A and B are shown apart, each in its own frame.
Chain A
Amino acid sequence: MGMVAKSTLMKWHYITGLILVVVLGIHLAFRWPSYEASIQWSSPHGVYEQLLNIGYMAAIFILLYAATYHAMNGLRTLLLELHQGRYWNTAVDVVIIALGIFIVIVGTVALVGALQVI
């Protein structure tokens, strides 16, 4: 990561952190009043109804991308602070980027497909 200044990476870490507080709040709020009911497909506040809610789905898309960046950057900082040498540092960078891309692709495919129900 010699191309990007650490402060730029951390700036986005903090911005995604604030975004996450909002969208995670929404994601968790949709479990109200009953967690069990909210994970059933066809109950009153269930999964099917959540998929139909465009605003909620927008929040989930934002959640996917913000959380991936925040988690991957955080994990990278953590792992690099173990200071295990140059090969470790390069390996961490490669794995983190690969993992991030993987999560984003899997999540996007699933969510875009889920929008079909609308």
Chain B
Amino acid sequence: MTEKLATKRNPPKWSLWLRGLDEWLLIFQKVSGAILAIYLIGHTLVISTALGFGHPSQLTWERVIGLIEGPRVVGVAHVGTIIEYLIALLVAVHGANGVRLILMQYFGLGLPKPERHTYPMIPSPRKSPQLVYKYLVIAVVIVFIILASYVAFVG
């Protein structure tokens, strides 16, 4: 017998996943989560240093924050401001999509009740509650971008 049974699975069809919003949101949630987790570590260390590890003073604060912020680049905004702005954007999308997932999986909001089939059959990711959720997520993110841009660059 020259035939041998395969040990590797057939490769997946990437085209199937590249055109679904849910698939992109899943990747985004993971990637933004990783970035935000690293940011949390950095931010806690920076702020704790700036607060003098329990001995807060104006001098320590201003020296550390001045160092971290970097030079001014856009209007009143420093380099540090831009970075924090982008992080805040990540938080907005991660948070809005996360709330959608939590409401769905913990409270069952937006999950259709199983029913007898009506035709044409529409799978639950394509039914209207999911679409409402996604539009809400987009709306929340847009509002957030407007407010954040004002606070960072204009205020």
Contacts and interface: CB of A to CB of B under 8 A. Distances in A.
Interface residues of A, number: 42
B8 to A, nearest CB: 15
Interface of A: 11, 14, 17-18, 20-21, 24, 28, 31-37, 39-42, 47-48, 51, 64, 67-68, 71-72, 74-75, 78, 99, 103, 106-107, 109-114, 116-117
Contacts of B148: 28
Contacts of B78: 36
Nearest to B147: A32
A64 B126 CA distance: 37
Contacts of B45: 106
A71 B38 CA distance: 9
A114 B30 CA distance: 34
B151 A78 contact: no
B44 A103 contact: yes
Q: In which size bucket is the chain B interface?
A: 35 or more
Given A67-B40, A78-B33, A106 B99 contact: no
Interface stretch (B17-25, B54-62, B115-123, B131-139): B54-62
A36 B44 CA distance: 19
Q: Is the interface of B mostly helix, strand, loop or mixed?
A: helix
A48 B99 contact: no
Interface of B: 30, 33-34, 36-37, 40-41, 44-45, 47-48, 51-56, 58, 61-62, 65, 69, 76-78, 81, 84-85, 88, 91, 95, 98-99, 102, 105-106, 147-148, 150-152, 154-155
Contacts of B77: 35-36
